Structure 1
Amino acid sequence: MPGSAAVVLFWGEDEFLLRLAARERLRDRGMEPTEVDGAGWQGGETADLATPSLWGEQRALLVTGSHHLPEAGLREIQAYVTSPSPDALLVMTLVSRAKSAPPLAKRVRESGGEVRQVAMRRQDLPKWIVDRAKSRGLRLSGPAATTLMAAVGEDTAALDQATEQLAVAFAGKTVTPDDVRAQFQGLGEQRVWDLCDQALTGRLGEALVTLRGLLEAREDPLLILGGIAARLRELVRVRGLPARMPSAEAAKAAGIRFDWQVRRYRDQAGRFSEEGLASLHARVAEADRALKGGVAGDVLLPSLVAAMAGMPDAALDVPVRVSR
């Protein structure tokens, strides 16, 4: 029955939601897993699942980012899935924007495992925020959740962090829209972070809507550009690390706060060649000179965002006004 399978695969577009679902399943089963990132697969990780524990506890393995598994790692996973240990639990997350389940799902189902797509509709986000707040002992009204989305953006990881911040600031109080605005007023930096995520994953329409919101809120175009430049520098640092380096170690080496950010940045950097990232850096430098020369942000920034989204014909053919 669901919940008791020896192998579970969660797949979908949102890496944070996938990891959350995986952790909830492990917690429900009372297991603390060994965690491995697909990009850091070394080989032999599934062998521990078949080894009886000296203390009698059940063994569990969490493989995040299974879409990054090397070919040898995928073969090992497929072999284990065919005949899993009944006394162990293998949980995997796999990021995919496809409408149908990934090929690995078929192997899991055929072996009696569980496959579940994890998806979040935009209209369900406010309720999800309220529920996440409730799990932290925070009472958050529906309108406050909507206000939080307007302030922070729609990235689930950022929203989850924001609810944690509210839980600390307003413990024991019902949080209202005014409370949210007071806590996150002028939070353009986080919305720039959301803008970068949208653009660097090819979601140009969403990115342009976010950019328009930032400009309408009178956020300084130079600050927006600074956030974009900072993200590109992080992508370069992450790209320069060994692909098999575990996410936690990579986060420390790259000076990034969370290991899930490393996994996300690896995906984003993987959409570009080294030359492509260098070209984006050059565009940022051009944009900086143009903005300081007096070009309006709403004229210049959309083409840069389009280039981040992978549009080959996006260009910054904007004359730079030289101040005297």
Structure 2
Amino acid sequence: MAGKAKIAIEQLSWNNAKPAPIVLVSGAEGFLADRATQRIREILRDADASLEVSDLDASSYAPGELLTLASPSLFGEPRLIRVSDVEKCNDEFLLEMLDYAESPDTDTTVVLRHGGGVRGKKLLDTLRAGTGGAVEIVCAELKSDNDKFDFAGNEFRIAGRKIAPSALRSLVQAFSGSGSELANACQQLIADADGDISDRTVEDYYGGRIEATAFKVVDSAVAGRLGDALVTLRHALQSGADPVPIVATFASKLRLMAKLYGERRGSGELAGALGAAPWQIDRARKDLSGWSETGLGNAIEVIAQTDANVKGASRDPIYALERMVNVVASYGRR
């Protein structure tokens, strides 16, 4: 089987984005891609205030648009061409961009936004092999809680602000479903909150959101507090929460607890092996109080059934959710 194409160009994180003749902004995390593109625009604008900025949609591209925009202007202003939907590009764009990459204009920066998928692979492979003097900005999706915790912590470090670890955890939990919402929440606290950011600060700003998260539901259920769990679940659903990520949160929590059952190694040693932060491991160990191996197995089985039910296997997904909460709050006893 053929291996992956060799990557010969510089790959950078979104916060280290820089201009180049061609900049490939890849990955599924759209808000990071937007930030990277904005950073490139600001760098170019700071270097020359006469920068001309143009936008193209690769999915509806008309022949000749790229060359027209990249052609030298009468007064020689630098140009930034932002191209969206490269993962949906039509054949005309693909052919003309491949041709342009052989000899890009020295006064033009072309930013290509590719959100993922196989469409445009020939172009990506060509650029990654070194054609056109490209660089790649990798904007991978923030999938794990650990990724989101690190991202949010970095937001405050960059701004020179201090936030208590427990406050940061609460913030991440409240906005775990969306990287862009988490980023906006961080920026709001940085802009509006005075002094160091504490648990109380986060509670004052986002208390209602925190109380209605899947994490609050699962934490109450795992601890055997059925009433609290059901009330929080109903609050979350009334606030528009999607049942699917709620079930996913239960699954993630119970799987980690199952992996830790009987495990004696320290949290620092286990963190890499389990893909969880040490604080998550410590918390999961505390949550194991009252649980048996059989109970964990039963709960995980019910969670799997509920996952299918909320994805269309049942006509009453809310009943399935409440039954799952009942089983988990009973420590896996059915």
Q: TM-score, normalised by structure 1?
A: 0.56
CA distance in 2, matches of 1:143, 1:306: 33
CA distance in 2, matches of 1:93, 1:210: 36
CA distance in 1, matches of 2:212, 2:106: 44
The answer as to 2:106 corresponding to 1:86 is yes
Question: Where in structure 2 are the equivalents of 1:239-258 lying within 5 Å?
Answer: none
1:175 to 192, 197, 207: 197
Question: RMSD of the alignment, in Å?
Answer: 4.1
* Conserved? CA contact 1:9–1:115, under 8 Å: yes
- Summarize deviations over 1:229-273 as a string: whole Å, max 9, x none: 9xxxxxxxxxxxxxxxxxxxxxxxxxxxxxxxxxxxxxxxxxxxx
2:72 to 30, 52, 77: 52
Match of 1:290 in 2: none
Write the letter of the residue equivalent to 1:106.
Answer: D
The structure-2 alpha-carbon separation of the partners of 1:178 and 1:14, relative to structure 1 and needing over 3 Å to count, comes to same
Q: Which runs of 5+ in 1 are unaligned?
A: 193-208, 230-297, 308-313
* Conserved? CA contact 1:127–1:142, under 8 Å: no
Match of 1:282 in 2: none
Match of 2:32 in 1: 17
SS in 1 for 2:232: coil
CA distance in 2, matches of 1:79, 1:301: 51
Tell me the CA shift for residue 149 of structure 1. 0.6
Match of 1:218 in 2: 231
Tell me the CA shift for residue 190 of structure 1. 8.6
Tell me the CA shift for residue 79 of structure 1. 2.4
2:175 to 152, 163, 175: 152
CA distance in 2, matches of 1:150, 1:33: 38
The structure-2 alpha-carbon separation of the partners of 1:222 and 1:176, relative to structure 1 and needing over 3 Å to count, comes to closer
Paired residues, number: 230
Q: TM-score, normalised by structure 2?
A: 0.55
* Conserved? CA contact 1:22–1:92, under 8 Å: no
* Conserved? CA contact 1:9–1:91, under 8 Å: yes
CA distance in 2, matches of 1:39, 1:80: 17
CA distance in 1, matches of 2:23, 2:150: 26
CA distance in 1, matches of 2:64, 2:220: 48
Match of 2:122 in 1: 103
The structure-2 alpha-carbon separation of the partners of 1:49 and 1:319, relative to structure 1 and needing over 3 Å to count, comes to closer
Percent identity for Structure 1 against Structure 2: 20
The structure whose Rg is larger is 2
2:184 to 130, 150, 161: 161
The structure-2 alpha-carbon separation of the partners of 1:319 and 1:81, relative to structure 1 and needing over 3 Å to count, comes to closer
SS in 2 for 1:29: helix
1:77 to 71, 74, 97: 97
